[in-house]
């Protein structure tokens, strides 16, 4: 199996958290987003599988981390998607279509033949902010022909049901109810009879990839020297119009969309509930404190006289003193004293004290302390 993860985007919808780290490095339920995805790949792929990471923003940090953690599990390659321009000092890129097209040369070297029907040559593309809860095994089996005749399926596209009011934020598919094959795909329509949204997980056979690259090249050329991004959805529509049989597989247990901060807390809550994360090494490490699961507590954490949870994710190397925190995500290296909050997202290396406030969004490296504590580097 060949795996491709586009990670070039600057993650502007996750500001302020992505000012200091790539979107895929944001932690939810104790793991980085990219870890949630790559751990899924490890479960369904052979060892080692081919992995391509398409980098852009913060690419040195991405390359170093993935090499250090996953070199034994994957044959890893990297391709850099160059910025199309800058808005101030924030890069913007040529779109998902351009990112996938960049993988063409890599795939040509990895695939045994474009006519191959070996699962080792199939391609899985997973966006770095979309995490399936359950169903990845079924997705792979449909592509491999284990749930249908292999000759009938050229590719599989993961879908999820979204409210009709939000369809303009997604690629939308229409499916033939009798055959199960996709009949039409539209990128971010204003209206549609369908509410089946592309869920950011795609699987294709080699012959499909060969044509997909050709269609993507035409799509990218439309935006050469012009504003706008080349999307993947129009090229998928080209596949359908040229007779390729693409199956829509609904992830009925849900796909967690971490593309914007409004979905981070809900995703964290679901992951903690679904995957039974531990409370910590030992309850006695947290004197005079109440731990209300499900929660995740990282390494080297000190908690005193506090109430934590439910639905809290606490990063590594944190100190919490006299806090009451519910349904929140706390990054690594935070020092919090006398904080009462819920529904909050606090970044890495944040120093805060004496705050009672819900729904906070606090970026990395923030220092929000009273004048007395601000004279010191520790709580």
In a domain, 274, yes or no: no
Q: Which of 223, 240, 266 is a domain's end point?
A: 266
pLDDT in the model for residue 136: 84
Helical H runs in the chain?
33-44, 59-70, 96-101, 104-110, 136-144, 206-221, 233-241, 264-275
Same structural domain for residues 239 and 288? no
DSSP lists the bridge partners of residue 309 as: none
Q: If we measure between CA atoms, which residue out of 57, 52, 71, 53 comes closest to residue 21?
A: 57
The Cα–Cα gap between 261 and 334 comes to 19
In a domain, 49, yes or no: yes
Q: If we measure between CA atoms, which residue out of 113, 80, 108 comes closest to residue 7?
A: 80
pLDDT in the model for residue 372: 67
In a domain, 276, yes or no: no
Q: Which helix (H) or strand (E) holds 328?
A: strand 328-330
Which residues, 6+ apart, have CB-to-CB distance to 50 below 8 Å?
1, 2, 3, 74, 75, 77, 110
pLDDT in the model for residue 379: 44
Same structural domain for residues 237 and 306? no
Same structural domain for residues 261 and 286? no
In a domain, 39, yes or no: yes
pLDDT in the model for residue 123: 93
Q: Which two tokens stand for residue 296?
A: 């995740």
User: In 3-state terms, what secondary structure has residue 67?
Assistant: helix
Q: What is the distance of C-alpha 225 from the center of its chain?
A: 29
The Cα–Cα gap between 239 and 244 comes to 5
Same structural domain for residues 182 and 326? no
Same structural domain for residues 35 and 157? yes
User: pLDDT by residue (tens digit) across 314-366?
Assistant: 999 999 999 999 999 999 999 999 999 999 999 899 999 999 999 998 888 88
Residue 256 is part of which domain span? 2-266
Tell me the CA distances in angstroms from 251 to 72, 170, 199, 260, one per residue in order: 29, 16, 8, 20
Q: Please state whether beta strands 155-161 and 246-250 pair in parallel, antiparallel, or not at all (unpaired).
A: parallel
Same structural domain for residues 335 and 221? no
pLDDT in the model for residue 50: 94
pLDDT in the model for residue 226: 80
pLDDT in the model for residue 5: 93
The Cα–Cα gap between 353 and 369 comes to 5
- The CATH number of residue 325's host domain is 2.160.10.10
Count of CB atoms situated within 10 Å of the CB of 137: 12
In a domain, 272, yes or no: no
Q: Which of 266, 301, 323 is a domain's end point?
A: 266
CA 22, 254, 270, 13 torsion: positive or negative? positive
Which residues, 6+ apart, have CB-to-CB distance to 138 below 8 Å?
147, 249
In a domain, 335, yes or no: yes
Q: Which helix (H) or strand (E) holds 59?
A: helix 59-70
* Number of domains within the chain: 2
Q: pTM value? A: 0.85
In a domain, 199, yes or no: yes
Q: Which two tokens stand for residue 160?
A: 């999820």
Same structural domain for residues 228 and 294? no
Q: Please state whether beta strands 182-187 and 171-175 pair in parallel, antiparallel, or not at all (unpaired).
A: antiparallel
- The CATH number of residue 245's host domain is 3.90.550.10
Q: Which of 266, 293, 324 is a domain's end point?
A: 266
In a domain, 271, yes or no: no
Task: Pick out the chain residues at pLDDT < 70.
Answer: 8-22, 45, 47, 57, 85-92, 147-151, 258-262, 275-284, 372-379
Same structural domain for residues 105 and 59? yes
Count of CB atoms situated within 10 Å of the CB of 362: 20
Same structural domain for residues 61 and 203? yes
pLDDT in the model for residue 89: 67
């Amino acid at each position: 199996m060949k795996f491709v993860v586009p990670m070039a985007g600057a993650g502007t919808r996750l500001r302020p958290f992505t000012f200091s780290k790539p979107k895929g490095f944001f932690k939810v339920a104790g793991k980085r987003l990219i870890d949630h995805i790559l751990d899924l790949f490890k479960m369904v792929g052979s060892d080692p599988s081919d992995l391509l990471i398409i980098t852009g923003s913060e690419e040195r940090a991405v390359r170093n981390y993935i090499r250090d953690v996953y070199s034994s599990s994957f044959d890893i390659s990297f391709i850099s998607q160059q910025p199309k321009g800058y808005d101030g000092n924030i890069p913007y890129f040529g779109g998902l279509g351009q990112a996938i097209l960049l993988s063409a040369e890599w795939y040509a070297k990895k695939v045994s033949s474009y006519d191959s029907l070996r699962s080792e040559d199939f391609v899985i593309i997973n966006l770095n902010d979309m995490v399936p809860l359950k169903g990845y095994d079924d997705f792979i089996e449909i592509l491999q022909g284990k749930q249908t005749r292999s000759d009938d399926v050229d590719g599989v596209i993961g879908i999820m049901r979204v409210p009709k009011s939000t369809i303009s934020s997604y690629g939308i598919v229409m499916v033939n109810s009798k055959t199960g094959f996709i009949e039409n795909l539209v990128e971010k329509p204003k209206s549609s009879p369908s509410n089946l949204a592309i869920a950011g997980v795609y699987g294709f056979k080699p012959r499909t990839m060969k044509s997909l690259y050709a269609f993507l090249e035409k799509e990218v050329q439309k935006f050469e020297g012009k504003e706008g991004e080349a999307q993947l959805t129009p090229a998928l529509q080209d596949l359908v119009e040229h007779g390729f049989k693409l199956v829509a597989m609904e992830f009925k247990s849900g796909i967690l969309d971490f593309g914007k901060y409004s979905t981070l807390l809900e995703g964290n809550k679901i992951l903690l509930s679904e995957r039974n994360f531990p409370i910590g090494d030992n309850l006695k490490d947290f004197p005079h404190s109440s731990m209300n699961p499900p929660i995740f507590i990282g390494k080297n954490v000190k908690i005193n006289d506090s109430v934590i949870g439910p639905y809290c994710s606490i990063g590594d190397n944190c100190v919490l003193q006299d806090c009451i925190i519910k349904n929140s995500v706390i990054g690594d290296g935070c020092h919090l004293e006398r904080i009462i909050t819920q529904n909050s997202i606090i970044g890495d290396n944040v120093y805060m004290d004496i705050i009672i406030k819900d729904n906070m969004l606090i970026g990395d490296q923030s220092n929000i302390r009273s004048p007395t504590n601000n004279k010191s580097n520790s709580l």
